[in-house]
Amino acid sequence: MVEASSIYVGEHVRSVDAKARVALPAKWRFGTEQDRVYLALPNPSGCITIYPPSMVEKLSLKAAEISLGDDVGQKILTKLFSKADQLTCDSQGRVQINKFLLTHADLQRDAVVVGNFVTFSIWNPGRYEKYIGSESGKGDETNKILTKLGL
């Protein structure tokens, strides 16, 4: 069963403060407990994707399947996770974005926090609009995904 706290939906415009912190929507906030690791990864689309603990656990199992003898797999894991970061919320529900991820996503004054149902992303507003707008005319791809989801 999916917990309500692990469902991420909607678009939320937020400020990026001088300390590179972004406030998350109240329903999405998580605590500082060490056993609740949220993972921030650079997304090839130019945003930051945040994986909650349930997804981190699944990702951990998949990563463990890549043999030490698999040079290509190990290199990919190294490249990906060397750029990742663990996040916790402060008492005001903000997460601090490290310098690499801040630059990767081109976050400056504002950010859009976007739910992807089981994960969420943090976008530069202009990049997000361009990304969403680029999907026009690709209704067939949307239909394929909706069909895979059973919707």
Report the length, in residues, of the chain: 151
- Nearest Cα neighbor of 56 from 93, 86, 26 is 86
Report whether pLDDT(61) > 50: yes
Higher pLDDT, 57 or 2: 57
Structural domains in the chain, CATH included, are 4-125 (3.40.1550.20)
Higher pLDDT, 127 or 141: 127
- Distances in Å between the Cα of 97 and the Cα atoms of 25, 60, 84, 133 are 16, 22, 10, 26
Mean per-residue pLDDT, 139-143? 66
pLDDT grade for 47, boundaries at 50, 70 and 90: very high
End-to-end CA distance of the chain: 18
- Nearest Cα neighbor of 114 from 24, 2, 18 is 24
For 19-43, write each residue's pLDDT tens digit.
Answer: 999 999 998 887 655 556 789 999 9
Higher pLDDT, 79 or 139: 79
Mean per-residue pLDDT, 62-84? 90
